[in-house]
Structure 1
């Protein structure tokens, strides 16, 4: 059973209505309302999370790509818990090092740490943002409504042929991840990008 806050039942809502709801839900990680944006790679999570953050008045966004690595696409839960969730849950700023995907390493210099303050709302986006280990800390889980095949086509087109091998490895890992730890069935809201903007509908958890 999900520990997410159950948001009120309502008709399809635009982003503005979603923002109003997010500002009213109780904090979920210390003083922070942690809002996750999950979905398949290439489904538009980063773009939507950025627009949602702006609509929330400049909420900070944590990109899970910062904590993953080539060696462990999804083995970042411990790093996230220690560096981010634990300090935020105590009202302290989180500090973490951002993985350099070009160099294939985390920076050694402590001065390279990124800082995430315990703002009223913090958005965390990335594949697996709604995973089982994170759900107890979430105020709301949003799922990007796009099939894996369509999302992966978009991602490959975005990244170009030079990352073909990376995408082969990634899609295998993503299939395994969602088979073992699905998160779409726990979403409070499902987000679909349309021609005229985003449509936000109740997700499976929003019906309960």
Structure 2
């Protein structure tokens, strides 16, 4: 990954003067949710921010949640299109960020625009304590084979059975999008064209996740939050493009 990081500050955040560096928010625990596989929530310090405020987009420019998504997709596709292949003949894009930040929504829309297969890290984690194994699986099952010009396939974690289940071949395509905590891990960076990081305030992320996943995640909330905290503290994920998402 080369070049400076760029940040898009999306609705819900006032435009900042040039040269303004946003302070890192204090760590905060969030509360639970679930959808049959992990919806991880927690808010320790975010990964390193770009040194510049980047492109500021106001509410009027994005036109609400649908406008936010359209604008964010355009920016990501424009930026990604300037990168060359990163694993064999593929361009592989990682979409990172904490639970409720909008990773899945953005990644799905970007993948649709690029006609790219989409892999969710939620399908690769080996349960609630399997973040690290999910990262290793992505490298061993998908990224290394693609970089070597070989077919790749990954196995889905069955959250109900607590075991890996069926195998999914990675379709042929010029692109691959991977979304979820861990997609931007240090060991994976050599295979990526870059990392897009979605960021939202703790309150907004919590509201989204609970609305999406309900209350059944409560017993696992802190457990996963600690894994997420540790990952970001040790990996120091540095994004190429940071997108603020305060849409409700």
- Give the TM-score of the pair, scaled to structure 1: 0.79
Cα distance change of structure 1 residues 152 and 136 upon mapping to structure 2, 3 Å threshold: farther
Number of residue pairs the alignment of both structures matches: 186
Q: Is the 8 A contact 1:156 1:164 kept in 2?
A: no
Cα distance change of structure 1 residues 151 and 74 upon mapping to structure 2, 3 Å threshold: farther
Q: Is the 8 A contact 1:40 1:148 kept in 2?
A: no
Task: Quote the RMSD (CA, aligned, Å).
Answer: 2.4
Whole-angstrom CA distance in 2 between matches of 1:9 and 1:157 = 30
Deviations 1:162-201 (A, max 9, x none): 2201222111211121111121xx21111233659xxxxx
**Match of 1:97, SS?**
strand
Matched, 1:137 2:194: no
Deviations 1:42-84 (A, max 9, x none): 211111100111122x211111111102242333232222110
Report deviation, 1:149. 5.3
**Match of 2:216, SS?**
helix
> Which residue of 78, 98, 104 maps to 1:40?
98
Partner of 2:179: 125
Partner of 2:233: 179
Whole-angstrom CA distance in 2 between matches of 1:179 and 1:119 = 34
Identify unmatched segments of 5+ residues in structure 2: 8-53, 58-70
Q: Is the 8 A contact 2:92 2:177 kept in 1?
A: yes
Cα distance change of structure 1 residues 105 and 178 upon mapping to structure 2, 3 Å threshold: same
Structure (1 or 2) with the larger CA radius of gyration: 2
Q: Is the 8 A contact 1:31 1:118 kept in 2?
A: no
Report deviation, 1:31. 0.9
Partner of 1:203: none
Cα distance change of structure 1 residues 195 and 146 upon mapping to structure 2, 3 Å threshold: closer
> Which residue of 208, 214, 217 maps to 1:163?
217
Cα distance change of structure 1 residues 7 and 176 upon mapping to structure 2, 3 Å threshold: closer
Partner of 2:119: 62
Cα distance change of structure 1 residues 45 and 151 upon mapping to structure 2, 3 Å threshold: same
- Give the TM-score of the pair, scaled to structure 2: 0.67
Partner of 1:92: 150
Whole-angstrom CA distance in 1 between matches of 2:172 and 2:150 = 6
